[in-house]
């Protein structure tokens, strides 16, 4: 067949595009006001794609359960976890984390877990929302 | 009176070039439009991976191995885990072996469909690129559902896998496989019956069977020349020995073997079909059981600290045979590690394939071996000078223009 | 699939020991099983003296007309450089392939070895890599140029070595520098 793609291209002109769009077309100047407007109903957004469960996003640390055994530091492939000597607790640098969740598996008291937060871009490697402690 | 002597012209392409997906430097000797000789230089994406493993324990090296390459990010940690399991005598449970097969085949399909899109783009057929990558999106959604991430799966563990596939997940897997079977017919019609593809790829970039054997090529590159080499069938690992699998050579579909680019397209599409059938067989035959032989990781690390020996692990990646050699000597860290990615062996065949071809055929022939330069370069990081940058999109435009010329 | 008779691992090692007598040492056969059916596969390891190295590789061609050469790996100990050549034979039919690993030890005072590119042309990149990474000199290599390291890097630092010619002064841990 000489032009086998032609029927497919023709059909594509009438189908909905496959890309998932961002919630809003332009970045809002203030996120809190934008969220209020959504809740009031004055602004509609594209519904976000659902995130599957057990997605490996930002790490969550339950400080009270931690016993300071340092097993997570031993197994982290990118040296993203630091030990705080005086308190016997840890400090995780998300700028170096590879989101492998190996520390979750090895922790004997299960104080680490992965949330589904993935929008973590920032301009400073050591800013407050990129350090978990 | 001075005489004019006719010499050949040297055309350098790379390391950074729009026709190439990854940096590699070629130097072609050209006479008119015909290529006479090729010189290949590697080494432009060196990172310090084998050296960085010297101060990491085996579990950390699993994640280091995963970042050698993005598309074959499942086979490198798996081959490393196979090597360590053979040294330390760790027995993998049968349920885990079938799970490993399922993940390997999903990755093979993702990689072959990506390659199909790239090959179409090199010819100039951009609408096919978007069609194939749309199909691939469904597979990546399935991967994210099973594993937690689209690429860099982080599912390998020494002695098994890290996550289970429970029967609740079967409907989603079966739905994706059904979608793939339906769109496979679309792909087959475009790639194998379309006149443009046949004109551009038949008789182009031929690698004879004897050369493929002597230059020890691996993977679909060598199977398209008629050589029956496939690690899954020759020396099976995981659970492939229990499944119905055979070598995929082009004479299954067309009855003859030419060793050109068209045959390589046939082999890769046949392998996608084979992968669908293998996953279905696994879902039927999988026995229940544990997913890893030693769930307490601290105990596993303590056991590996006392092991002394050397071992090898071989796996069939989408591009060929991946080979890992590991030596441990009763220390917490690894003593020696050698990684051989399949593109290593597939680079030498470029020279006989590109001789006597035209310049406009360079992108499609180089892309037909599915090179993955990130896998090939990973030894030591040094200050590197970029050689030169060629003009804008020149090679790619030439390739598209040849397609248009053939149509008119 | 080749027409020659398929030999068992014990026959292969016996044939090597008959031909090369005491130049072969440290042989071992490792058997593993996989899958539900417990299919077996075999790895053969042996150590060969440097003087008979090329003949030992030629001997491999008796078993398979086109042996598959995977890669050659290497590491260095205090006085020697150990190279291991990884081959595999009998591809083409199900579950019959054997892996053969041949180790050869070179003293650091004279690290030379014969090339095998006249028997297996695909071994060229592997041999060039050993020359630049470990400081081995391969005799009669067809193309003597660097493959992974650029040409302006100094020639007396060998990237894989653990002794004083290693690359330690070039390594920087970036995360410690930055923090």
- A26 within domain boundaries: yes
In the structure, what pLDDT confidence band is assigned to residue C87 with cuts at 50, 70 and 90? very high
In a domain, residue A83? The reply is yes
Separation of alpha carbons B308 and B327, rounded Å = 8
A50 in a structural domain = no
Half-sphere exposure of B320 (CA within 13 A, CB side): 28
The closest of C68, C86, C84 to C76, measured between CA atoms, is: C84
Superfamily covering domain B49-343: Cytochrome-c3 Hydrogenase, chain B (1.10.645.10)
Q: Is there a domain that residue A45 lies in?
A: no
Average pLDDT, chain A: 83
Number of domains in chain C: 1
Closest CA to C134 of C171, C169, C167: C167
Domain, as residue range, for A91: 59-132
Same structural domain, A64 and A119: yes
Cβ neighbours, 10 Å, residue C23: 17
For residue A28, being part of any structural domain is answered with yes
What CATH code is carried by the domain that includes residue C105? 3.30.460.80
Q: How far apart are CA B111 and CA B114, in angstroms?
A: 5
B63 and A77 within 8 Å at the Cβ level: the answer is yes
What is the secondary structure of B389-403 as a DSSP string? Answer: B--TTHHHHHHHHHH
Beta carbons within 8 Å of B352's beta carbon, 6+ residues apart:
B207, B208, B211, B215
Rounded to an integer, what distance in angstroms lies between the CA atom of residue C71 and that of residue C130?
11
Residues 6+ apart with CB under 8 A from A121: none
Nearest to A106 among B137, B163, B297 (CB): B297
- Identify whether A1 is part of a domain: no
Q: Report the C-alpha gap between B13 and A53 in whole angstroms.
A: 46
What one-character DSSP code corresponds to residue B292?
Answer: B
Structure confidence by residue, pLDDT tens digits, B324-348: 999 998 888 999 999 988 888 888 8
Angle of helix B261-285 versus helix B94-123 axis, rounded to 10: 150
Q: Other C-beta atoms within 10 Å of B245: how many?
A: 18
Distance CA B283, CA B174 (A): 9
Among B367, B402, B377, which residue's Cα sits nearest to residue B17?
A: B367
CA atoms within 13 A on the CB side of C172: 7
Query: Which ipTM value was assigned to this complex?
Result: 0.91
pLDDT for the residue numbered B383? 28
Neighbour count for residue B263 (Cβ, 10 Å) = 29
Q: Where are the alpha helices (DSSP H) in A69-116?
A: 71-75, 102-106
* Total domains, chain A: 2
| B21 and B376 Cβ atoms separated by less than 8 Å | no
Question: Which chain A residues are closer than 8 Å to B299 by Cβ?
Answer: none
Nearest to B382 among C35, C69, C150 (CB): C150
How far apart are the C-alpha atoms of B220 and B232, rounded to whole Å? Answer: 13
Residue of A nearest to B128 (CA): A5
* DSSP for residue B236: -
End-to-end CA distance of chain C: 59
Cα dihedral sign for B356, B359, B361, B362? positive
Give A108's contacts in chain B (Cβ within 8 Å): 298
pTM value is 0.89
The CATH code of the domain that includes A71 is 3.30.70.3270
A77 at B interface, C-beta within 8 A: yes
Each residue's pLDDT expressed in tens, for chain B with a length of 408 residues:
567 877 888 888 878 877 677 788 888 888 877 777 777 778 777 777 888 888 888 999 999 898 888 888 899 999 999 999 999 999 999 999 999 999 999 999 999 999 888 888 888 888 888 888 889 998 999 998 998 888 888 899 999 999 999 999 999 999 999 999 988 888 888 888 888 788 888 888 888 999 889 888 888 989 999 889 999 998 888 889 889 998 988 888 888 888 888 889 889 999 999 999 999 999 999 999 999 998 888 899 999 999 999 999 999 999 899 999 999 988 889 999 999 888 888 888 888 888 777 777 777 887 788 777 666 665 432 223 333 333 334 556 666 766 676 665
DSSP structure class, residue B334: -
Give how far B183 is from chain C: nearest CA, Å.
31
> Is residue B100 within 8 angstroms of chain C, CB to CB?
no
A91 within a domain of the structure (yes/no): yes
Secondary element (H or E) of residue B37 = strand B34-41
* Tokens found for residue B246: 């055979």
Q: Which helix (H) or strand (E) holds B115?
A: helix B94-123
Q: How many CB atoms lie under 10 A from the CB of residue B122?
A: 26
- In a domain, residue C121? The reply is yes
For chain B, which residues make up each domain, given as ranges?
9-45+359-407, 49-343
The residue range of the domain holding C106 is: 9-178
Q: How far is A108 from chain B (nearest CA, A)?
A: 9
């Amino acid at each position: 067949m000489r032009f086998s793609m032609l029927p497919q291209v023709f059909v594509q002109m009438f189908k909905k595009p496959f890309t998932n769009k961002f919630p809003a077309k332009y970045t809002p100047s203030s996120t809190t006001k934008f969220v209020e407007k959504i809740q009031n109903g004055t602004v509609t957004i594209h519904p976000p794609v659902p995130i599957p469960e057990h997605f490996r996003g930002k790490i969550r640390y339950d400080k009270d359960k931690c016993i300071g055994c340092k097993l997570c530091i031993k197994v982290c492939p990118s040296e993203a976890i630091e030990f705080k000597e005086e308190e016997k607790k840890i400090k995780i640098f998300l700028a170096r984390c590879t989101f492998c969740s190996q520390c979750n598996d090895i922790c004997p008291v299960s104080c680490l877990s992965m949330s589904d937060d993935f929008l973590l871009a920032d301009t400073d490697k050591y800013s407050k929302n990129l350090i978990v402690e | 009176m001075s005489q004019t002597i006719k010499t050949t012209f040297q055309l350098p392409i790379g390391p950074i070039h729009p026709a190439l997906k990854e940096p590699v430097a070629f130097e072609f000797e050209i006479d008119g439009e015909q290529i006479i000789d090729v010189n290949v230089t590697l080494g432009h994406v060196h990172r310090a991976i084998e050296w960085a493993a010297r101060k990491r324990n085996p579990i950390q090296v699993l994640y280091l191995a995963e970042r050698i390459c993005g598309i074959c990010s499942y086979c490198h940690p798996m081959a490393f885990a196979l090597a360590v399991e053979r040294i330390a005598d760790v027995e993998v449970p049968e349920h885990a072996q079938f799970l490993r097969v399922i993940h390997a085949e999903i990755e093979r399909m993702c990689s072959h469909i990506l390659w199909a899109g790239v090959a179409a783009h090199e010819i100039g057929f951009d609408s096919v690129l978007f069609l194939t990558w749309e199909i691939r999106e469904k597979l990546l959604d399935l991967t994210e559902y099973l594993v937690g991430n689209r690429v860099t799966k982080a599912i390998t563990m020494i002695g098994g896998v890290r996550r289970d596939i429970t029967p609740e997940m079967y409907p989603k897997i079966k739905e994706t496989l059904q979608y793939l079977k339906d769109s496979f017919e679309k792909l087959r019609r475009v790639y194998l019956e379309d006149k443009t593809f046949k004109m551009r790829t038949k008789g182009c970039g031929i690698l004879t069977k004897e050369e493929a054997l002597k230059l020890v090529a691996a993977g679909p590159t060598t199977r398209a020349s008629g050589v029956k080499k496939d690690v899954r069938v020759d020396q099976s690992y995981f659970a492939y020995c229990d499944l119905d699998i055979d070598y995929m050579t082009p004479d299954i579909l067309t009855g003859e073997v030419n060793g050109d680019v068209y045959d390589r397209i046939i082999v890769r599409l046949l392998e996608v079909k084979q992968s669908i059938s293998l996953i279905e067989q696994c879902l039927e035959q999988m026995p229940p059981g544990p997913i890893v032989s030693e769930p307490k990781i601290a105990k596993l690390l303590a056991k590996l600290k006392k092991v002394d020996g050397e071992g090898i692990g071989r796996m069939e990646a989408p591009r060929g045979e991946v080979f890992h050699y590991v030596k441990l000597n009763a220390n917490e860290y690894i003593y020696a590690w050698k990684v051989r990615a399949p593109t290593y062996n597939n680079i030498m065949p470029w020279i006989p394939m590109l001789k006597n071809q035209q310049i406009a055929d360079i992108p499609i022939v180089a892309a037909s071996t599915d090179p993955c330069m990130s896998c090939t370069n990973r030894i030591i990081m040094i200050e590197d000078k970029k050689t030169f940058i060629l003009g804008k999109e020149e090679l790619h435009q030439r390739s598209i223009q040849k397609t248009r010329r053939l149509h008119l | 699939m080749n027409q020659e008779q398929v030999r068992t691992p014990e026959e292969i090692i016996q044939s090597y020991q008959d031909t090369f007598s005491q130049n072969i040492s440290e042989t071992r056969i490792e058997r593993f099983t996989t899958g539900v059916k417990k299919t077996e596969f075999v790895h053969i390891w042996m150590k060969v003296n440097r003087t008979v190295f090329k003949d030992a590789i030629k001997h491999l061609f008796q078993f398979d007309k086109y042996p598959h050469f995977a890669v050659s790996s290497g590491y260095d100990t205090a006085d020697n450089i150990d190279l291991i050549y990884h081959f595999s034979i009998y591809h083409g039919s199900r579950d019959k392939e054997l892996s053969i690993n041949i180790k050869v030890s070179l003293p650091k005072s004279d690290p030379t070895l014969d090339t095998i590119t006249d028997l297996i042309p695909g071994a060229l990149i592997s041999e060039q890599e050993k020359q630049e990474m470990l400081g081995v000199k391969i005799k009669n290599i067809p193309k003597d140029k660097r493959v992974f390291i650029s040409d302006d890097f100094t020639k007396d630092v060998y990237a894989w070595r653990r002794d004083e010619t290693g690359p330690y002064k070039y390594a920087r841990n970036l995360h410690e520098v930055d923090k």
